[in-house]
Amino acid sequence: QVRLVESGGGLMQPGGSLRLSCAASGSILSINTMGWYRQAPGKQRELVATTTSGFKVNFADSVKGRFTISRDNAERTVHLQMNSLKPEDTAVYYCYAMIRTPSNYQGSDYWGQGTQVTVSS
């Protein structure tokens, strides 16, 4: 019943910007970590950026200085502002959250369906 719904993906030229958003819904007690992972064709899914409920952030080295993550705990949303996009940023971007629910107070990992980001001329 818990869902993570992403939006904001699309096609952008190199050097451009995109803003991804993810909203969590369902029966939720709390959300610990929220963030973004990405998976390019033929490659492993990799961390892009995460933020905790205390707003501690973790970025992949490849996106530091270009991407910014933000979180609104009340709205149960997380955003990824992607600037200075490069072709190598092309991937499916997945929202991630570690969520406690009434049926699983210990918490579980949840994933969105993914949103395509394509950086190309």
The predicted structure's pLDDT at residue 74: 82
The predicted structure's pLDDT at residue 83: 98
Mind listing the pLDDT tens digit of every residue in the chain (121 residues)? 899 999 999 999 999 999 999 999 999 999 999 999 999 999 999 999 999 888 899 999 999 999 999 998 788 999 999 999 999 999 999 999 999 999 999 999 999 999 999 999 9
Which H or E run contains 55? none
- C-beta of residue 75 within 8 angstroms of C-beta of residue 91: no
The predicted structure's pLDDT at residue 75: 82
The SS3 of residue 57 is: strand
Q: Residue type at 119?
A: V
Q: Cα separation of 76 and 43, whole Å? A: 29
Q: Is the C-alpha dihedral spanning 50, 25, 41, 44 positive or negative?
A: positive
The predicted structure's pLDDT at residue 118: 98
Nearest CA-CA partner of 93 in 14, 40, 34, 33:
40
The predicted structure's pLDDT at residue 53: 82
Nearest CA-CA partner of 27 in 76, 79, 95, 78:
76
The predicted structure's pLDDT at residue 55: 80
